[in-house]
Structure 1
Amino acid sequence: MRIAVIGLGLIGGSLLRALAAAGHDVVGFDADPETRLLARKAGFRVAGSVRETVAGSAVAALAVPLQVLPEVVADLYGYDGLVTDVTSVKGPVRHLLEGRRFVGGHPMAGKETSGFAAAEVGLFSGCAWVLCLEPDETDLGDWLLLAGMFTGMGARVVPATAAEHDTAVARISHVPHLFAAVLAQQLGGSPLAGALAAGSFRDGTRVAATRAELTAAMCGGNRDAVRAELGRLMGELTTMAAALDHPEPVKALVPLLRPASELRRAWPPAPGAAEKITARIDRLLELGRSGGWVTSVNGTDLVGMRPESGRIVP
């Protein structure tokens, strides 16, 4: 299948590499001439424009920042192939591509480094790749086509609506990026803190090394969900601060900290046995809501898994 990849940064470049390794006919494009040159030197076919890239392709994957998408979508005028994307916010992209053959996507993979030079053929192996399903809107055949493509690259495809995705990623990705940024600023003006920082600081601040523009784009693009989640977490931090004012702060903190300790030690949950999944939008959304994912697609024959604790009869 011929697939066009628009945007050849870390995610787009890794997608180009993974699709080629899986045997697809791929062609890429990036607005940056240096990036195009790097991709050509790596042996990939790279076009000179968006229109040239998508010509004759069955699928166009958009791997550009959210703020650039309107310009790229305008260049897709007349293209009747299937469009997907890798943007970390799904609601605005869904509205932008309304009326087109579109299935929103978001691979939960990445690094603190960026650019085509950082791309890896195996970046998506084992990662959760959200593919959006909107009742009465998404074409199930298009969804299955992409699910087969991404599971063929080793990803775990998670069905969800755009709204469900945006709420979930605010909780486990976007707000953690903001927290990491605040934590990383503890290094400012304190050489001693920098000398003493070790594992917990490193793990808690890793994503603070992400380019500020990328973090701002994903948090700003999902601002309603991020604001709500940020407010909830600040409320919990206020509760912990109040516990420090307790006459016995250790005793007051333990019940606040124990649930988090138990949840983190139980994550990620062990997968249950493989099971056949009915190729219906409602059943697929049930799978995603239970924390499950699709592991393989053969036509309308789907195999999936879910955490051991939450099995649903297909």
Structure 2
Amino acid sequence: MMPVPPVSVVGLGQLGGSLAAALVAAGRPVTGWDVDPAARDAAAARGVRIGRELDGVVVLAVPLPALATALDDLDVAPDATVTDLGSVKTPVLAELGARYGSRYVGGHPMCGTERSGHEATDPALFTGARWAVCLEAGTELARWLRVAEVALQVGAEVVPVTAADHDDAVAAISHVPHLLAAALAAAAAEAGPLALNLAAGSFAGGTRVIGSDPEFVTAMVEGNAGPTAAALDRVLAQLSRPWHELVAAGHAAVTGGVGRRPVRVPVDRQALLALGRAGGAVTYRLAAFVEGWVPESG
């Protein structure tokens, strides 16, 4: 087996800083870079080597609008694998795939909070999280595995997906919730100060994510406009149902008992994608196989 490559993280805010810190804690060599000197200093204090020379697995942890230019002024090894943590994958694949070819493997960890910046760094952020790692027709399996191994090393579970499948899925469970949170907050504000003063747990839970940076949220939903609009149409259709039916259907969707069945699948594109589409995840890498699980109704 080839030696484990180092990891280089560009962007040391909440996601990038947390990833770098978690990898350092796991004993992985990590180089980091950020345009913000304060973010570089914070990462260095956690044991990250700061530098502009990047190799191994290069992780782009910068906002979506900056992904295309994040490496322009940095020295990237010609054989490095390039991945990202962006919340939209199809447009990023089109841009970075054209630039880096099969060296690019898209990724998206499903974690994070409404906080941002290096002050929000948490080395445990990825523990137990799902991390989508894109497997396209032209993806090199060896590079896909290198990215998957980074996710596994920080405690995440890897979900093999295509960029298109990823974007359809996250529109329903991430992008539309941000829009709904914004609508709830704006509607409550219109109801007046009494309503806002009485707001408690359900309102806080329903509006939490819209506390994120508005520019970040706007870039996310506009970058995935087609799937997000389709997912929003499904929500609007649900809201037109009789309320008792809607409440019962929603309750059943979140309380239905689902177990996990362990599986072992070969390191093969179709087998890995079938695992992801079944709602499963990879938890461990073997030589020619991966171990993981798929959901099983109780």
After TM superposition, the score normalised by the length of structure 2 is: 0.91
Residue in 2 that maps onto 1:246:
none
Residues 15-164 of structure 1 mapped to structure 2, 5 A cutoff: 15-47=19-51, 52-54=52-54, 57-75=55-73, 79-98=78-97, 99-135=101-137, 137-164=138-165
Mapping 1:148-297, distance limit 5 Å? 148-188=149-189, 190-237=192-239, 239-240=240-241, 252-266=242-256, 269-272=258-261, 274-297=262-285
Q: Which stretch has the larger CA shift, 294-303 or 144-153? A: 144-153
Secondary structure in 2 aligned to 1:88? coil
Q: 1:116 to 1:144 in 2, by over 3 A?
A: same
Q: Secondary structure at 2:295's aligned position in 1?
A: coil
The structural deviation recorded for 1:159 is 0.5
Asked if 1 retains the 8 angstrom alpha-carbon contact of 2:102 and 2:139, the reply is no
Q: Secondary structure of the equivalent of 2:219?
A: helix
Name whichever structure is richer in strand by fraction: 2
Bigger mean CA deviation after superposition, 300-309 or 82-91: 300-309
Q: Post-superposition shift, 1:197? A: 1.1
- Comparing 111-120 with 145-154, greater Cα deviation is found at 145-154
SS in 1 for 2:260: coil
CA displacement at 1:73 relative to structure 2: 4.3
Report the residue type matching 1:53 in the other structure: E
- Structure 1 length-normalised TM: 0.87
Find 1:6's aligned residue among 6, 10, 17: 10
Q: CA deviation at 1:235?
A: 3.2
Match of 2:176, SS state, is helix
Give how far 1:195 is off.
2.1
> 124-133 or 72-81: which moved more?
72-81
Question: For the residues of structure 1 that align with 2:26 and 2:44, how far apart are their CA atoms?
Answer: 19
Deviation at residue 16 of structure 1 after TM alignment = 0.4
Q: What amino acid sits opposite 1:140 in the alignment?
A: L
Measure how far apart 1:41 and its partner are. 3.3
**Could you give the per-residue CA deviations for residues 4-56 of structure 1, whole angstroms, max 9, x where no partner exists?**
10001110011101111111110101111222222223342212xxxx231xx
**Structure 2 letter corresponding to 1:308:** E
Cα separation, 2, equivalents of 1:60 and 1:100: 14
Of all paired residues, the percent bearing the same amino acid is 44
Check the 8 A contact 2:82/2:104 in 1, yes or no. Answer: yes
If you compute each CA radius of gyration, which structure gives the higher value, 1 or 2?
1
Shift of 1:257: 2.4
Q: Secondary structure, in 3 states, of the residue corresponding to 1:126?
A: coil
User: Do the aligned residues in 2 keep the contact of 1:183 with 1:205 (CA within 8 Å)?
Assistant: yes
Number of matched residues?
Answer: 289
Q: Which stretch shifts more, 226-235 or 124-133?
A: 226-235
Contact 2:9 2:20 in 1 (8 A): yes
Match of 1:299 among 287, 290, 297: 287
Unaligned runs of 5+ in 1: 241-251
